[in-house]
Every structure is written in structure tokens, then in C-alpha cells.
Amino acid sequence: MQVNIRKINKAAGKTGSARRRKITALLLVLAITMLTLATACASDKSSEKIPDDETTRTTGQPGTVTAPSGTNPATSSGSTKSELVVVTSVYPLYLAAAQVARGVNGVSVRNLTENITGCLHDYQLTTANMKTLERADAFIINGAGLEDYLETIARDLPDLQIIEAAEGIALTDENPHVWVSISLMMQQVENITREMIELDPANREGFVKNAEDYLARLDTLRREMHVSIDPLAQRKIITVHEAFPYFASEFNLEIAGVIEREPDSEPSAAEMAATIDLIKAQKVSAVFAEPQYPKATAELIAKEAGARFYTLDPVASGDLNNLDGYLEAMERNRLVLIEALK
């Protein structure tokens, strides 16, 4: 039987054409589907909310970032922290630095310790203290040997900037309690102001104005104290420990004796007897305790010697929320001395 090759070829051509038409239709449907999906995805992405993060918002110029509002550009090491953090070692320096920075935007002053009683010399750093210093741009210390822990800080935080408030002050017998003299406290305020301007020159105007205002108030207090204390007949005093030599020098008082020569050490019976004899022999009119120390020993000595008993504040501790604490403590000292030495 003869096979008609032409008819077969024609039928095969029709079948191939039908298959091609089906494939083309499928491809067209697939393309339309993919295009629809792509359009929907693009639409969804364009409608997503972009986070409004000021720390990453660009200015429209390549490689620049807009800092958050309130950023202080003068933080250490070119940091973009939101504030300049200054830590102080002791209460009187906290008051001084906080007065200088009062109301200045982007500057935070913190004291290293909570209020403590007793002697500051032997203070031991805590883990919390070190964490506070790790976040600081500068650490303001009194210096003059008051902070025994400085070696630890220098070892563990070698990049921390340390500012010595007592720099340039002539010491008496290496005694670090310079702030108890109003005049020397004023010098410490000037030192702190100069260093804070170095840290944050953008806020120079605010620092200078605050410092001038505070120094004027300290000067007024100093003059008022001279007016009250200079005419007093009695000049000799007994104190608990070696906190008042600069104060005594400023107001022409004589420290006839000190009850505790070594910080936080109770005098022996023999030492107490010697102090009582000294008070009687030199006719010392008053014995002064301090609010940072127990008063029982000083009160007993005063009673046995026939002297009057009072409290005199070296402003080593106080309310951190009251920035006028130094001024108010010295005003109380003025009133106490008027009564004690009349």
C-alpha cells in the first residue's frame, strides 16, 4: 500500500502549528502574570513607611549625617554623643561644676559618689563608679592628694581626661581641703571654667556668664564673712580633723588643736586628756565638730574643758539637688562663728 507522503506532511504541519499556538498562548499568559506580580510588589514597597531616624537621615550630600537635636559637637574624641558628660570626684567640686554648667544645653554634670560620711581620702572605687567614669568625657578631681584611687583610674581608663581643680594652688602641709577657703574655692571655679571651655568651646558664653555670676556671689559671701568674723575677740578654735587650715588662714583664725590627727581614728585617752589641758591652758572658747563625723568625742572634750561646743561644716557632703549648698553652708558657718567666738 502506497503512503501519500504529501498528505502526512500537511497533517503534520497543521499539528505543529496548533502546538506552537498553544505554547505561545501559555508564554503570553505567564508573561502577563509575572508583570502583574511585579507591579503589585513595586506598589507595596513604595507604600512602606520609612523610619524617621535623625541619626541616619542624610542632608542630601554624600557621606554626611545630620546629628540629633541637642547634640553637642564638642564631645571627646569627635564623638556624636548627645551630651558632654562631666563627672566630679567630690561634693564641693560638683557644686562648682554644676554652677558653671547651669542651664547650658547638652552638658551633664554628675558626682561620682553618693553623699558619704567620714574621710574622703580612703574612698574605694566601686564597679558602679567605674561604669560612670567609662561614660564620662572628663573627670574633675580636687587633686592635692585627696583622691587616692587615681592610679586605678589611670590604669583602667587611660584615655579619660582628668582635670585637677586645685591646680596652681599653694598647699599648706600638703593638705588637700583647699575648697574650705572661699578664695581658693573661687580659684577652683576659675580652673573648672577654663577647662570646660576647652572641652566645649561652643558653649563658652554660657560657661563664662555662669562662672561670673557664681564668683560674684562667692565674693559677696567672702566679704560678709570678713565683716562678721574679723572683729570677733576670740581667734582660737579646736576642730575634729585637718579640714580647716585654709579657712582659718583666710579669716585670721588660729587652730589651737585637732582632735583626730589621723582621719577616722578616735583619739586615745591620753590624747583626749592632752587636748583638754590645751583648751584650758590657751583659754580656747569653742570646740567644733563636723557634720561628716560623729560628734560624741568632740562634745565630751568640750564639756570636760569647759568650752562651748558647735558644728562647723567643711562642705565635704550635702544635698546634690541644692546647687547653692556651698553658699548656704558657709553662711551657717558665719552665724556659728559669730556665736562661738564673741
CB 342 within 8 A of CB 234: yes
> Does the pLDDT of residue 296 top 70, yes or no?
yes
Q: Which residues contact 40 (CB under 8 A, 6 or more apart)?
A: none
Tens digits of per-residue pLDDT, 33-92?
444 444 443 434 333 332 333 222 222 222 222 223 233 333 333 344 679 999 999 999
In angstroms, the CA 246 to CA 160 distance is: 30
**Grid cell of 247 as nine digits:** 579657712
In angstroms, the CA 121 to CA 53 distance is: 47
Which CATH architecture is the domain 76-224 placed in? 3-Layer(aba) Sandwich (3.40)
88 phi/psi in degrees, rounded to 5: -110, 155
Say whether domain 232-340 belongs to CATH 3.40.50.1980. yes
The residue ranges of every structural domain in the chain are 76-224, 232-340
What does the pLDDT read at residue 113?
A: 86
Average pLDDT, the chain: 81
Q: Which residues contact 330 (CB under 8 A, 6 or more apart)?
A: 182, 221, 225, 313, 315
CA 73 remoteness from chain centre? 18
- Mean pLDDT, residues 275-288: 97
Q: Which of 162, 159, 157, 149 is nearest to 86 (CA)?
A: 162
Q: Which residues pair with 141 in a beta bridge?
A: 164
CB neighbour class for 131 (10 Å; exposed up to 12, middle 13-18, buried from 19): exposed
pTM: 0.76
Put the strands of the sheet holding 161-164 in their side by side order: 107-111, 84-88, 138-141, 161-164
Tens digits of per-residue pLDDT, 190-216?
999 999 999 999 999 999 999 999 999
